[in-house]
Amino acid sequence: MRPTSRDLLLIVDVQNDFCPGGALAVPEGDAVIAPINRSMQAFEHIVLTQDWHSPRHHSFASAHPGKQPYEQIELDYGPQTLWPDHCVQGTPGAGFHPDLHLIRAELILRKGFRPEIDSYSGFFENDHVTPTGLAGYLRERGITRVFFAGLAYDYCVGYSALDARRLGFDAVILRDACRAIDLNGSVAAIEREFTAARVNLIESASLLA
């Protein structure tokens, strides 16, 4: 599956707080870096997303007295999992992992910066209505298919891929270039959605075969 000029690699949230030792570490989160760096060689177009939360963000358990991380509450836009404070603007945890190759990225898209609403997807805030502007960027660049890699497979990667399909883009996830949180069966749940939405899963080695 050799990418063309109409394909783009979207690298999702490969940041220090999601890697071992970080505030919201995904198990083996740093294991995505080597396959992502290799995969970049196959793409003409590369975009990165960066979780970029304000202090006291409403998705943080610390913003809700008496609540603990991983509890779920209702906000104006629906259910919200509460997280440990992570990827706070300007902190080392919000920075990209130092081993990730950044030089060929055309765009770094910051998301989750609105204090009152979380943002898993690279395309929409969690109200599923407020756009990030990524879809317009891809359309103006003539992109028709998006490949996804990064963290976490069952949250920000997965929701981005589902939104890509909803917006009419083909979506392919590089499964070995992702790692999951798997909170309360979240991997199985999102994979059922992948099947229904026709999100494809492949191994990154097939890009360079």
Specify the DSSP class assigned to residue 129: S
Among this protein's residues, is 67 annotated catalytic?
no
Among 7, 13, 51, 85, which one carries the catalytic annotation? 13
Strand 7-12 with 78-81, pairing = unpaired
- Is 85 one of the catalytic residues? no
Identify the active-site residue in 17, 19, 51, 111: 111
Which amino acid appears at position 136 of this protein? G
The residue whose two tokens read 């690279």 is 122
**Structure tokens given for 135:** 């879809």
DSSP 32: G
**Given 7, 87, 118, 156, which residue is catalytic?**
156
Asked if residues 178 and 146 have their Cβ atoms less than 8 Å apart, the reply is no
156 is annotated as an active-site residue: yes
C-beta separation of 3 from 207 below 8 A: yes
- What SS3 class is residue 25? coil
Helix 186-197, helix 158-166: angle, nearest 10: 20
Neighbour count for residue 142 (Cβ, 10 Å): 10
Would you please indicate which residues are annotated as catalytic (active-site) residues?
Answer: 13, 111, 156
